[in-house]
Amino acid sequence: MEPLGHNLLAATIFLSAAGFLSAAGFLSAAGFLSAAGFLSAAGFLSAAGFLSAAGFLSAAGRPPTSQAEEVQPQLKADSALLDCDFEQADWWRQWGLREQPSNTSVVTGLGSHGDHGQILQVVVRKGQHMGTSFAYKFRQQLGEEPEEIYLRYDIKFDEDWRHAESGGKLPGFGGTYGRAGWGGRPVDGSDGWSARGLFVSRRGGDSTDIGFYCYHADMKGKYGSHFEFTPKLVHGRWYTVKMHCKLNTPGVDSEGFDGDRGKNDGVLRGWIDGQLAFEKTDLRFRDVASLKIENIWMNVYHGGATPVPDQDIHLYLDNVVISREP
């Protein structure tokens, strides 16, 4: 919205002493119009055309009741929270990072939609486990953490992925809070969870299974559950993978833990090239309401403690979208 300059008229042609529109179709002191023609004293738009006293949008289209309510950060109104195609040289800044993540590089190549542009290459070095690990942290980026989110990305396993010895991790969802839900740290419903992507490869093979590697409150043992998608991904080809995570209903109210288990109504879904490849709708990620979706965890890791590749292996990512709607 462009500010109105001096001597511009409101719809009702009434001017304040300073020559700006007032709150009821008149010009305000600062001279900015709301969507519905209502202005605050400072003159910034509200969500539904009403303004707060400090000039920021109110969430419900009316002036907030307190200064504290005004400054509460909210998730963005648009569906796409992040859309990263790696075309910018400093693409990592979109993720809130200060530098490019380890073992990544932007290369020029033929993308998943036949377009020639920038794609992200991730390498797992010979004799190593780690490809890369970085995250889009919701609280840092948006001010709060959601309970339902979608992740979409294009992926291609290089033909050298046949040297992968076993399975490992791919991008997915995180809620470990640095306490539990990864690396053999089992969860109890109150300390963490995760649902990273999963890959399962066989040395010498020309395809790789993908899925979810999930730490949840009903898991057996100290390591996460494997939920595999169908079909396999053939090496050397691009695929579009979409993932959906919806946390279960917790067994607590807003005042704190009441001793109840959460409901088994959490959801994980996965699609490959638009076709449903996996669905599970009875997960219990948490018992406590304080556990949310902490981040999108962009993890590429060969293993656990399984054998390492005998040469460098590569995969490629492009068109990463994080959104609140399909």
| CA distance to 145, 191, 218, 261, 295, per residue, from 264 (Å) | 21, 17, 9, 9, 22
| Residue 42 half-sphere exposure toward CB, CA atoms < 13 A | 11
pLDDT digits (tens, 9 = 90+) for 56-112: 333 333 333 333 333 333 334 457 999 999 999 999 999 999 999 999 999 997 776
Collapsing DSSP to helix, strand or coil, 151 comes out as: strand
3-state helix, strand, coil in the chain (%, to 5): 5, 35, 55
Average pLDDT over residues 187-198: 97
Name residues whose C-beta falls within 8 Å of residue 99's C-beta, 6 or more positions apart in sequence.
92
* pLDDT of 162 above 80: yes
* pLDDT of 177 above 80: yes
Name residues whose C-beta falls within 8 Å of residue 296's C-beta, 6 or more positions apart in sequence.
82, 135, 136, 149, 151, 171, 172, 173, 174, 322
Name residues whose C-beta falls within 8 Å of residue 123's C-beta, 6 or more positions apart in sequence.
103, 104, 105, 131, 312, 313, 314
Position with higher pLDDT, 305 vs 82: 82
Average pLDDT over residues 3-24: 36
pLDDT digits (tens, 9 = 90+) for 111-132: 766 676 899 999 999 999 999 9
| pTM, entire model | 0.75
* pLDDT of 17 above 60: no
Report the C-alpha dihedral over residues 39, 43, 45, 46, rounded to 10 degrees.
Answer: -60
pLDDT value of position 302? 96
* pLDDT of 156 above 90: yes
Tell me if 162 sits within 8 A of 175, measured CB to CB: no
d(CA 326, CA 307): 37
Position with higher pLDDT, 30 vs 89: 89
- Going by C-alpha positions, the residue among 178, 163, 222, 172 that lies closest to residue 196 is 172
pLDDT value of position 115? 74
Backbone angles phi, psi at 155, to 5 degrees: -140, 145
The full DSSP string for 234-261 is ETT--EEEEEEEEPPPPSEETTEE-SPP
pLDDT digits (tens, 9 = 90+) for 219-244: 999 999 999 999 999 999 999 999 99
- Going by C-alpha positions, the residue among 321, 320, 306, 318 that lies closest to residue 127 is 306
pLDDT value of position 149? 98
List of domains in the chain:
1-72 (no CATH), 80-323 (2.60.120.200)
pLDDT digits (tens, 9 = 90+) for 239-280: 999 999 999 999 965 555 556 899 999 999 999 999 999 999
